[in-house]
A and B are shown apart, each in its own frame.
Chain A
């Protein structure tokens, strides 16, 4: 049974937030929503989360010494290595439980990282950790750029978005590549639970988080989580934008488990991707260019194809797991 809002409210009222007030992320930032939902899901289900974080906005702003917004054990090591760090802790836990030095208390290891620490500099450590089959949940808050350091492009930055290391200029429409399909990369490890989620759908995210926690192996959830500042959108509008991302096929909601694909949200009618692009200030410079229509058309073709592909994958993989164990 997935958690419901009543259970969550009651849990916090009777206990506490696992991730607390006083963090210094920007007003309206979507990263703390993700951290809050993930840790709360774990706690409300009776797990004891031990958290790791990659260097990034969430890490920097929640642990300015001597303050910490974490009400659960937490470790940050460096930018590119949260997967290695948290799986080191997981190995320690297995060893210490095995040796009777630590009581088994339903400890679960959760790593948080942004897109820089996941798609780019942290990909190797993440791939290694998943391939080794550690029992941990990796939660990516994807704001599509190095927002901690001022909007540099990442492997997740979409085509045509303005960034400081690949700006939209007179000669070039900014980044020309589309973003990596990170969940497909993770799914390529096969023995894994992987999913996309969006800040517009907290209950969907929490349901996926629950599956991820239940699975005694590597799990990965990519949450589209706007940086209101560098997406150039109103502070209050993060979830509204990610809702549009889902409704335009820009960010379909789906999951993968051991070889089987499942689309978890199938809107009856889709909006054109231009509805999404025109809402985000990060595309303003693109929209002023003569070639913006072409860029958006390319994007539309891509998201259409991607959607069709997902449905096809769902169809052909149904009840045909690749693996029965990690």
Chain B
């Protein structure tokens, strides 16, 4: 339950800052974890393009000529496996989250 009193909130139910959902870690929902084999990865960025949770990061290579897949943000990845399904070179494998429990 929230703490703010009624007169401490902005009026009209407005959310006066953008992208506040990032405070909510959807990665905690995950039961399967995508593991990337960077040796296989061809940096085509299809996973980046498809990921419904914007959990895959990428950038251009230093020379600006190519794209580079740089990782998966486990704070938000829900483990749906779309990235693994669409990967043209099968460089992503979905593994049960239980394997990573410490």
Contacts and interface: CB of A to CB of B under 8 A. Distances in A.
A65 B79 contact: no
Interface centre among A23, A29, A36 (most CB of B within 10 A): A23
Contacts of A202: 49-50
Contact of B59 (A13, A31, A70): A13
Interface in B18-71: 18-26, 29-30, 44-45, 48-50, 52-55, 58-60, 64, 66-67
Interface in B62-102: 64, 66-67, 73, 75-76, 78-82, 84-86, 94
Contacts of B78: 27-28
Contacts, number: 127
Contacts of A287: none
Nearest to A32: B52
Nearest to B69: A9
B15 A68 contact: yes
Interface in A216-253: 228, 234-240
A62 B21 contact: yes
Given A9-B48, A33-B50, A24 B81 contact: no
Contact of B19 (A29, A71, A235, A238): A71
A303 interface: no
Contacts of A228: 80
Nearest to B31: A27
Nearest to B27: A21
B62 to A, nearest CB: 12
Nearest to A16: B19
Given A6-B60, A10-B59, A236-B84, A21 B22 contact: yes
Contact of A67 (B15, B29, B94): B15
B20 A67 contact: yes
A10 B25 contact: no
A100 interface: no
Contacts of A284: none
A132 B24 CA distance: 40
A121 interface: no
A10 B82 contact: no
Contact of B15 (A29, A66, A237, A238): A66
A30 interface: yes
B28 to A, nearest CB: 11
Contacts of A62: 21
A107 interface: no
A47 interface: no
B3 to A, nearest CB: 11
A21 B53 contact: yes
Interface string A7-50: 01110110011011111110111111100110000000000000
Given A24-B24, A235-B80, A9 B19 contact: no
Given A22-B23, A65-B13, A68-B21, A239 B81 contact: no
Contacts of A67: 15, 20-21, 23-24
Interface centre among A31, A68, A202, A234 (most CB of B within 10 A): A68
Contacts of B82: 28, 235-236, 238-239
A28 B80 contact: yes
B55 to A, nearest CB: 6
14 contacts: A9-B58, A13-B60, A17-B54, A20-B54, A21-B22, A22-B23, A22-B76, A28-B81, A63-B15, A67-B15, A67-B21, A68-B15, A68-B21, A239-B82
For the complex of A and B, the 8 pairs showing the least CB-CB separation, nearest first, are A22-B21, A236-B81, A28-B80, A27-B80, A27-B78, A21-B76, A69-B21, A236-B85
Interface of B: 2, 9, 13, 15, 17-26, 29-30, 44-45, 48-50, 52-55, 58-60, 64, 66-67, 73, 75-76, 78-82, 84-86, 94
Given A22-B26, A28-B52, 8 more contacts: A9-B58, A10-B60, A21-B21, A22-B19, A22-B24, A23-B21, A24-B24, A27-B52
